[in-house]
């Protein structure tokens, strides 16, 4: 149970940082984000599309990302998300936290992140 909780927390934290990192590059819509996470994690992180939208909405509520409907010629109307200034700051903090975390894990248990 304890493992599950840790897993859940880790997954939740990692999903957030993943989304922020993806949006740091440019604005994207939900489907694109879900595809990219699956692609880039090579299946190592089990990511369920069901948890994507709650995460997006949570980040939006926190003011870290900002979503808006954009209609492009020849495409259907889609909601695009982009990083806010606060989001960019949060990403930087999270990145350094993860770095520290991995460094500690490495020292203690010899676990390395990719």
What x/- string results for residues 14 through 33 when contact with another protein is judged by CB under 8 A?
Answer: ---------------xxx--
Please, where are the H alpha helices in the chain?
Answer: 2-25, 30-41, 49-62, 85-109
Q: Which residues have C-beta within 8 Å of that of residue 95, sequence separation ≥ 6?
A: 17, 21
Using DSSP's 3-state secondary structure scheme, residue 66 falls into strand
The only residue of 79, 85, 89, 113 in contact with another protein, by rule CB under 8 A? 79
To the nearest whole angstrom, how small is the minimum distance from the Cβ of residue 79 to another protein? 5
| Subset of 44-73 contacting another protein (CB under 8 A) | 48-51, 53-54, 57, 60-61
> Cα–Cα distance between 29 and 39 in angstroms, integer?
15
Q: Which is nearer to another protein, 77 or 112 (CB)?
A: 77
Q: Which is nearer to another protein, 9 or 106 (CB)?
A: 9
User: Which one, of 43, 41, 42, 50, lies nearest residue 22 by Cα?
Assistant: 41
- Name the residues that contact another protein, by CB under 8 A: 29-31, 34, 48-51, 53-54, 57, 60-61, 76-79
């Amino acid at each position: 149970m304890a493992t599950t909780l840790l897993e859940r927390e880790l997954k939740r934290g990692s999903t957030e940082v993943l989304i922020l990192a993806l949006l740091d590059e440019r604005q994207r819509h939900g489907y694109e984000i879900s595809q990219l996470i699956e692609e880039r994690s090579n299946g190592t992180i089990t990511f369920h599309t069901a948890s994507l939208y709650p995460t997006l909405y949570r980040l939006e509520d926190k003011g870290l990302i900002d979503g808006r409907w954009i209609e492009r010629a020849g495409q259907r109307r889609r909601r695009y998300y982009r990083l806010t200034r606060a989001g960019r700051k949060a990403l930087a903090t999270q990145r350094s936290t993860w770095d520290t975390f991995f460094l500690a894990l490495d020292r203690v248990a010899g676990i390395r992140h990719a």
